[in-house]
Amino acid sequence: HRFLHFRGKVPLQGSLLALPLVAGEVCVGVALFHRDKINSFQFDEVGLYHIIANQIASAVENALLYQQTRELATHDELTGLFNRRVLETRLEMEWERFRRFDITLAFIMVDVDFFKRFNDEFGHLLGDRVLRQVGQLVPEQVRKVDTVARYGGEEFAVLLPRTNKVEAAAVAEKLRAAVASLAIRPDNRDEDIGITISVGVASTEDAPRSAKQLLDMADHALLVSKSSGRNRVTTYGEGQLLV
């Protein structure tokens, strides 16, 4: 019944033949055939239409599989965010735009604080839940033109075109505060555990010589945040890396 949304799309009078499009054991849709005359579909015709429906189902299944394959090539399976490969490609594109038109570009690196504790004390399933929660929250705090990706492990990255350092720092603080409001409860505990992040920010105002150096500057600022107590935002050039 969830597929029979034909009312208003075909005349009410006539004949309608509805055949499920079954791929394996999954119904991926319904093929609707309409004729103007009442009782115009003969029994021996239905077999032919079944063959047509099976061909359509096979084509739909192949299209879905192709789409899933493309998704896996560009997206992180756990969080659904872009993967590192897509991030680096977009970073190079935005770097070229900056180089040609002198349009500011900012980069944010994010690291989930004490992530190893979640895995070691409560198991990897809880760690995965933490990453999914953070991965879902970060895109909600930025613009659609920004690129959010899982960089690797417990690290995330945000690429912000047409954004200066002050604006990027404000976005980073917004991210930090939003994540700090999150909490997660392990199955074997009666209380929630807070989640925090450390953040590093860099921009083209820091005079990087390449896209990779811009990323490295943000990563260095992230390390300063982590060595300075975590749950904080550091911009490149601010503070000192504590060993």
Q: Which residues are catalytic?
A: 154
Give the DSSP H/E element, type plus range, for residue 203: strand 197-203
In tens digits, the chain (243 residues) has pLDDT values of: 555 555 566 566 788 888 999 888 888 888 888 888 888 888 888 888 988 998 999 898 888 887 777 767 899 989 999 999 999 999 999 999 999 999 999 999 999 999 998 989 888 999 999 999 999 999 999 999 999 999 999 999 999 999 999 999 999 999 999 999 999 988 877 889 999 999 999 999 999 999 999 999 999 999 999 999 999 999 999 876 654
Enter the pTM of the model: 0.74
Tokens 């900056």 -> residue: 98
What is the structure's pLDDT at 243? Answer: 47
Decide: helix, strand or coil at residue 163: coil
DSSP 10: B
What is the structure's pLDDT at 2? Answer: 56
Whole-angstrom CA distances from 41 to 14, 31, 52 are 10, 14, 15
What is the structure's pLDDT at 208? Answer: 96
